[in-house]
């Protein structure tokens, strides 16, 4: 059982959210500046920086990765408050002793933090080592599922975008560098990934990147507040992209990575086939999901097919819920936006 106080975490998180990171974000993202970070990295480092500050405020002595240390340095040099531990005697609580994973079982977003879980290739693990890693991954998934409201694994948003906004999104596709897209092949083997705590299987589509219209939708404060309200805790935008499906492209069944706790999806071009979501498996353990995908393949039987019409949005807690998209009958492009929780 965790030794930290949920009330203390909530109090620290509330204080944390009062810190304005806007100037630092602008500095890191500035295409003509010193750092020139891509937007997704700014988003993800900011979220991990906020988690690190919560832990330091509660007494943890975590040594942050360089990116988080830089974010803190820029906050302080810009006049923001330096992180400090709370007055534990006055608060009547003991300093935090739990590790990162106990507080944030949804998983770290910064690569170096994730690499702290040393996992070798499957052929290099012995059975005893893998059993230990699977047990740790199982505990993290169970702790994550305990954070969720089982009634909130998905929702629809009608009239999510206007017809004009949809036209602007479609126009952005012509402006994106066709060579900059990234093919997505999913996991090399079906099963449970004990590093990322995620179900994997093979997939085939292309990440095209985002234009300013999609970014504005993704980071709209009203939308972020709505996602936070539905999840019952503060959520932050992480990544967004246009996803291209050619005829025959597909998503094998999987659960999403720590950067994609919640996904919001809407159709930009064409008619995307249904998103098949296996809600009955959303509460299954890591080992049972791994066995399930090996036995059933990348398109298991059952599930609920979600079809979203133009201008309509599907929101899915894809970190918990296995989901797939069957081979496409025709070309389609989807706007995809991802969010992860502060706590």
| pLDDT tier for residue 151 given thresholds of 50, 70 and 90 | confident
- Establish if 98 belongs to a structural domain: yes
Out of 103, 137, 166, pick the residue that ends a domain: 103
Q: Residue 89: pLDDT above 80?
A: no
- With 0-12 / 13-18 / 19 or more C-beta atoms within 10 angstroms meaning exposed / middle / buried, residue 178 is exposed
| Average pLDDT for 135-158 | 92
- The answer to whether 258 and 196 have CB atoms below 8 angstroms apart is yes
In total, how many domains does the chain have? 2
Q: Residue 122: pLDDT above 50?
A: no
pLDDT for the residue 287: 92
| 236 plus 336 within the same structural domain | yes
| pLDDT tier for residue 120 given thresholds of 50, 70 and 90 | very low
| 154 plus 242 within the same structural domain | yes
Terminal Cα-to-Cα distance of the chain (whole angstroms): 17
Q: Residue 237: pLDDT above 90?
A: yes
pLDDT for the residue 127: 65
| 75 plus 189 within the same structural domain | no
- The answer to whether 59 and 86 have CB atoms below 8 angstroms apart is yes
| Average pLDDT for 334-342 | 97
- Establish if 253 belongs to a structural domain: yes
- Distance between CA atoms of 257 and 274, rounded to whole angstroms? 21
Out of 71, 103, 135, pick the residue that ends a domain: 103
- Establish if 115 belongs to a structural domain: no
- Distance between CA atoms of 140 and 106, rounded to whole angstroms? 7
- The answer to whether 239 and 182 have CB atoms below 8 angstroms apart is no
Distances (CA, A) of 324 to 64, 195, 255, 259, 318: 35, 21, 9, 18, 10
Q: Which residues contact 34 (CB under 8 A, 6 or more apart)?
A: 27
- Establish if 167 belongs to a structural domain: yes
| 64 plus 165 within the same structural domain | no
pLDDT for the residue 306: 93
Between 180 and 72, residue with greater pLDDT: 72
* Among 26-30, 122-126, 240-244, the least confident range: 122-126
- Establish if 133 belongs to a structural domain: no
pLDDT for the residue 112: 56
Between 217 and 65, residue with greater pLDDT: 217
Quote the Cα angle for 343-288-135, to 5°.
60
| 89 plus 163 within the same structural domain | no
List the beta strands (DSSP E) in 172-245. Answer: 182-193, 198-207, 235-245
| Average pLDDT for 207-216 | 96
| Average pLDDT for 37-46 | 97
Q: Residue 119: pLDDT above 60?
A: no
* Among 25-34, 56-65, 161-170, the least confident range: 56-65
3-state class (DSSP) for residue 268: strand
| 221 plus 274 within the same structural domain | yes
Q: Which residue range is the domain that position 277 belongs to? A: 146-341
- The answer to whether 294 and 191 have CB atoms below 8 angstroms apart is yes
Q: Residue 41: pLDDT above 50?
A: yes
Closest CA to 24 of 40, 45, 48: 45
Percent of the chain with pLDDT over 70: 92
- Establish if 280 belongs to a structural domain: yes
| Average pLDDT for 127-148 | 90
List the beta strands (DSSP E) in the chain. Answer: 154-157, 182-193, 198-207, 235-245, 250-254, 262-270, 275-277, 304-306, 313-316, 323-325, 332-341
The total of other beta-carbon atoms located within 10 Å of residue 206's CB is 18
pLDDT for the residue 96: 82
| Average pLDDT for 298-313 | 92
| 291 plus 198 within the same structural domain | yes
| 7 plus 85 within the same structural domain | yes
- Establish if 40 belongs to a structural domain: yes
| Average pLDDT for 113-132 | 57
Average pLDDT of the residues of the chain:
90
- Distance between CA atoms of 50 and 168, rounded to whole angstroms? 33
* Both structure tokens of 246: 């050619």
- Distance between CA atoms of 274 and 264, rounded to whole angstroms? 14
| 181 plus 289 within the same structural domain | yes
pLDDT for the residue 113: 54
| 96 plus 41 within the same structural domain | yes
Task: Provide the CATH number for the domain around residue 333.
Answer: 2.60.120.620
Local structure of residue 323 (DSSP, 8 states): E
Between 171 and 307, residue with greater pLDDT: 171
| 220 plus 305 within the same structural domain | yes
Out of 103, 128, 157, pick the residue that ends a domain: 103
| 225 plus 303 within the same structural domain | yes
pLDDT for the residue 118: 42
CA–chain centroid gap for 10, Å, is: 21
* Among 85-89, 90-94, 231-235, the least confident range: 90-94
| Average pLDDT for 17-39 | 96
Quote the Cα angle for 182-186-191, to 5°.
165
- Distance between CA atoms of 109 and 260, rounded to whole angstroms? 9
Q: Residue 186: pLDDT above 80?
A: no
| Average pLDDT for 149-165 | 91
Q: Residue 242: pLDDT above 80?
A: yes
Local structure of residue 235 (DSSP, 8 states): E
- Establish if 136 belongs to a structural domain: no
Q: Residue 163: pLDDT above 90?
A: yes
pLDDT for the residue 121: 43
Q: Residue 175: pLDDT above 90?
A: no
């Amino acid at each position: 059982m965790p030794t930290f106080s949920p009330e203390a975490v909530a109090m620290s998180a509330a204080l944390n959210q009062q810190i304005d990171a806007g100037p630092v974000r602008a500095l890191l993202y500035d295409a003509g500046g010193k750092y020139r970070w891509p937007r997704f990295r700014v988003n993800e480092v900011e979220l991990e920086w906020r988690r690190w500050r919560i832990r330091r405020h509660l007494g943890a002595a975590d040594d942050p990765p360089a990116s988080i240390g830089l974010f803190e340095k820029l906050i302080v040099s810009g006049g923001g408050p330096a992180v400090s531990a709370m007055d534990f005697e006055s608060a009547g609580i003991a300093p935090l002793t739990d590790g990162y994973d106990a507080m944030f079982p949804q998983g770290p977003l910064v690569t170096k933090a994730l690499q702290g879980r040393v996992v070798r290739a499957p052929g290099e693990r012995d059975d005893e080592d893998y059993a230990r890693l699977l047990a740790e991954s199982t505990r993290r998934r169970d702790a994550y599922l305990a954070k969720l409201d089982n009634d909130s694994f998905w929702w629809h948003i009608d009239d999510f975008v206007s017809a004009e906004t949809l036209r602007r999104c479609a126009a952005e596709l012509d402006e994106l560098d066709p060579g900059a897209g990234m093919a997505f092949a999913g996991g090399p083997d079906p099963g449970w990934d004990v590093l990322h705590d995620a179900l994997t299987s093979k997939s085939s589509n292309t990440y095209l990147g985002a234009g300013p219209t999609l970014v504005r939708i993704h980071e709209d404060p009203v939308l972020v507040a709505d996602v936070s309200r539905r999840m019952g805790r503060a959520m932050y935008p992480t990544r967004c992209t246009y996803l291209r499906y050619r005829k025959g492209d597909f998503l094998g069944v999987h659960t999403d990575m720590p950067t994609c706790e919640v996904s919001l999806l809407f159709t930009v071009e064409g008619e995307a086939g249904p998103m098949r979501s296996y809600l009955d498996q959303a509460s299954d353990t890591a080992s049972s999901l791994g066995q399930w995908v090996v036995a059933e393949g990348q398109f298991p039987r059952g599930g609920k097919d979600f079809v979203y019409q133009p201008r309509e949005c599907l929101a899915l807690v894809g970190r918990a819920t296995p989901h797939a998209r069957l081979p496409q009958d025709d070309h389609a492009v989807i706007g995809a936006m991802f969010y992860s929780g502060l706590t």
